[in-house]
Amino acid sequence: MKESTFMPVIDQDFELYYWSKKYQSHKWGRKPGEPSENYYEVESLFRLHSHDATEILVFLGGACEFFCEGKTYSLTKGDVVIIPPYAVHKAFVKDFNNYERIISTISKPLMAEFLSISPFMKESIIYHKTQGSYVIHLHTNKLKEVISIFQKISDRTKAGDETHSFALHYLLFQALQIILNPASSKPTNALRNAQDQRLKSIIEYIESHLTDPDLNLERISKQFHLNKYYFSHYFKNNMNVPFYRYVLLKRLANAVTMIKQNQISIEEIVTKCGFHDYSSFYRLFKKEYNLSPKNLQKEYKK
């Protein structure tokens, strides 16, 4: 079983998924009669993964621990997880029979459009990113408003409305305005383990040197004055993924975005994303996504 996966949003401006006792809007990977306790074996959403989109998770019930970029949260009803593009994350669900949540993934262009309209939403996103804070807790009345709006979106989608329609965009914008308004939420006690300053500095260093082909275990361990074997263990223990795969996922995620934009050649993308050569990039890309870079480009063009 793969340790992680990248799940690009291909065709739509946004996607909305319900999971509750009464209604499940999707059957990702689930085989007929598959018992819920085996769900981790078939469902990539419950392994480490990332998206080229903003993800909003509204938690409605059950027992769930949520891991995101070195922090683990014990979620309670009313918690909303705001996951930026490319963040490596995973949900640890203890009991699928009582697990309830709504997820919306929003493409980068649509999110950029929303943020250009609403300055306070943009400030809120920047705040959460700079603080490394991924979870807020909505007031009860605001949670009800958000659930109501998402239900309208789901009903309209099932009735045949396309996810790029103005009406659905406006409803989604309303929901995000509530979620990202500081007055709608209160401080959360969801954080189970505080991210230490050293790990935060390491993640920031990786982000700023991601396109450097020489970013490797030996270099970064020297940068932080650590034995490379200790660093390797420390990173995996805190991030739930080995250092080399974390860097690989980030680079491949950037490559996916550039391929979808179709503005430069794939050969140029290889260099810009920090890979040494096309052959190794092709092999890693194909192994991770089970399709070639050019086939992804063709699929997105469709």
* Tens digit of each residue's pLDDT (9 = 90 or more) over 17-26: 887 766 666 5
- The domain of 205 spans 197-301
* pLDDT reading at 44 higher than 80: no
Domain boundary among 159, 175, 193: 193
Q: Strands across the sheet with 71-75, in order?
A: 4-6, 48-50, 89-93, 64-68, 71-75, 191-193
Which tens digit of pLDDT belongs to each residue from 144-191? Answer: 999 999 999 988 888 887 777 889 999 999 999 999 998 998 877 777
- Based on the fold, state whether residues 87 and 161 are members of the same structural domain: yes
* pLDDT reading at 194 higher than 70: no
Lowest-pLDDT range, 33-37, 47-51, 172-176, 187-191?
33-37
Q: How far is CA 219 from CA 183, 213, 247, in A?
A: 44, 11, 13
- Based on the fold, state whether residues 23 and 96 are members of the same structural domain: yes
Phi-psi region of 104 (alpha: psi -120 to 50; beta: other; left: phi over 0): beta
* pLDDT reading at 5 higher than 70: no
- Based on the fold, state whether residues 110 and 21 are members of the same structural domain: yes
- Based on the fold, state whether residues 22 and 142 are members of the same structural domain: yes
| pLDDT recorded at residue 252 | 87
CB 252 within 8 A of CB 5: no
Domain boundary among 140, 158, 193: 193
Between strands 4-6 and 100-107, the pairing is unpaired
- The total of structural domains in the chain comes to 2
| pLDDT recorded at residue 199 | 87
* 31 band by pLDDT with thresholds 50, 70 and 90: very low
Cα(132)–Cα(201) distance, integer angstroms: 12
* 275 band by pLDDT with thresholds 50, 70 and 90: very high
Helix (H) or strand (E) holding 93: strand 89-93
CA–chain centroid gap for 229, Å, is 29
Of residues 149, 142, 151, 146, the one with CA closest to residue 171: 149
Cα-based angle 136, 21, 158 (whole degrees, multiple of 5): 85
Does pTM surpass 0.85? Answer: no
Q: How many CB atoms lie within 10 A of CB 108?
A: 16
